[in-house]
Amino acid sequence: MKLAQHVQYLAYNPGVHPNDGGLPGLDVLKKVMGSINLFGIIAVVGALAISALIWAWGHHSGGHQAEQNGKKGVTVAAGCALLLGAANGIVAFFSAMGTQVH
């Protein structure tokens, strides 16, 4: 009976935890992910500027569809900037929530 309880415990808790220094190249991977995040933020700045210009052009020229597309672009770019800026916090939050699951 004790063996069955041990197997059942292992099924629920395999004992695997994140290891900060487990693999070589982890620092390089962190730098690459940080660079990708920075590239994304720079791209969002460009998308926001272009969308704002389309919004203004559509408003002043009477092009209602261009105005609406500019508004959508500004909203999407702002949402992307929010997600890119909060990426570490979002992952840390849900990772911490995942440790609470038993």
Query: Is the CB of residue 60 less than 8 Å from the CB of residue 38?
Result: no
DSSP 21: T
Q: What dihedral angle (degrees, nearest 10) is formed by the CA atoms of 9, 13, 15, 21?
A: 180
The pLDDT of residue 99: 79
Per-residue pLDDT tens digits for 10-57: 556 666 777 777 778 888 988 999 999 999 999 999 999 999 999 999
Residue among 39, 80, 73 at smallest CA distance from 53: 73
The tokens describing 59, both together, are 């408003």
What are the angstrom distances between the C-alpha of 94 and each of 14, 57, 62? Answer: 20, 41, 45
The rounded mean pLDDT for the chain is: 87
Residue 102 pLDDT level (bands cut at 50, 70, 90) = low
